[in-house]
Structure 1
Amino acid sequence: MYTIGQVAKFLGVSRDTLKFYEEKELVKPKQNIENGYRKYNRFDIYDITTVNFYREMDIEIKKIQELRKSKSIEGIKSLVDEKEQEVLKEIEYKKLILKKLQIVKEDCEKIKQFLGKYTVKEMKPLEIRGEIEHYTAYEEYETLKENTDSLKKAVTLTSLRRVIRFNDEGMLEDKFIIVRKVEDFEKDIEGEIVSHPKCMYTVIEDGRWSTGGKNTDHNVEASLRKAAIENGYKLLGLVYINLLLTTYEDGLERVFLEMYVPIK
């Protein structure tokens, strides 16, 4: 027979864990009524190692309790299959988080390299999955959730593109489309594909820290026209704007946007 301290030491578990197992009726050591001391025999130790075995696979206590009552080999296999599917889903979720983190790192580099500068760049294909009136049109966010590749159904503004149509007289249309990137050779395309092989590309800063809350659309438009004239480009009357990154300075947001402006 062993004391709780001895069992905790050679099995590498805490006393609290052993008491928790006892509370959940996963192990039932004999207890001295007079002094409350517990005594564990070799069968108790076997029970504890069995519970630890399943806990190391992150099997829930409730499932282990069911297993302790009765579980055939097929039942155990079914339990493990269920856990395997859960782990595979979690791996896919972690992969998605890793991809998002890598994208943010790339966006930081874009800001450093292109802020306030113009270059020529391809706008790669995007599938249009829907449209909302404005990013503040919260009642339309259900549509956004249904049509984006998002982290556990969170609404992400990075799936939105602001699209502005204009001519020499000014703005003709201003809307937001819900998009997703089209990977090479992808087959499950349902929406319209939009892409432009040649665009003026730049990164601009918006947000109250830099603008004081003023609308800077006219200033940006003037800057685009000036850059197009200087480089001999003909604007096609379209601008695609994507939110890259938001941070804060002095409690005010700094918003960085990338712009694709199709040209000839």
Structure 2
Amino acid sequence: MICSGNSAAARRARRAGAPLLAAVTLTVLAGCSTLTGVVSPAEAREGTKQDAERLQPVDCRTDKCVALTFDGGPSEPTPKLLDLLRREKVPATFFLQGKGHTDTYPDTVRRMADEGHEIANHTWSHEDLTALTPDQIRDETAPVQEDVRKITGHYPTLIRPPGGATNDRVSDVLKKLGLSQILWSVTAKDYRTTDTALIKKRVLAQTERDGIILLHERYAGTIPAVPDIITELRHRGYTFVTVPHLLAPATPQPGTVYRP
């Protein structure tokens, strides 16, 4: 269940210039609590006065940027994806799962970091965080933080709540852990199909400027779709960046929910 207030009305309100963060209250899907404040990449960038020198040669305030993200790894196929991204010179953001992943493929995590990808948290066992107590939320996130720190020397600063399920209680806990929440605007639902052509079609149909694309490299149809996705989006004038670069020169704020 995606409990992020991703309604057509909410999107229209943001595009129409609705007041930011504190003034925006979105009511999420049935069964979830109220979530206060969702920030788009454009809104995040508008909220900073920093100059753009450090963004050169890509400044997402003027360039058409898109972020390619992968959930639920690392896994056995991940090195094949890393080979592809290195060949295409595409940075990605990896939201890593713990159990059976960061504890099983540490060399792959190290390679991700060494090759310039953003390493982020996707919880230890993919539980719905909105169904957990604050202590349980910490228990789901802290082990991945520690795994990544031990492997790369750095704690992740981003998290993707499983299923996009979040609320104010989750946000409060993640703020204390120093984690910003990153949702998405494009999904191929590749966990439901092995049809590479369909995955490609879904991604290309949904992608717009500032898009955050959600894929899972461990499913058989996904990695074969990535080369054509990269080629076509570049043909359309898009530049691939990591999620932090998409938000820059703003810095993602702990606890805040970001979604195009």
TM-score range, shorter chain: under 0.3
Select the structure with the greater relative contact order (CA < 8 A; seq sep ≥ 6): 2
TM-score w.r.t. length of structure 1: 0.23
Which structure: larger Rg?
A: 1
TM-score w.r.t. length of structure 2: 0.23
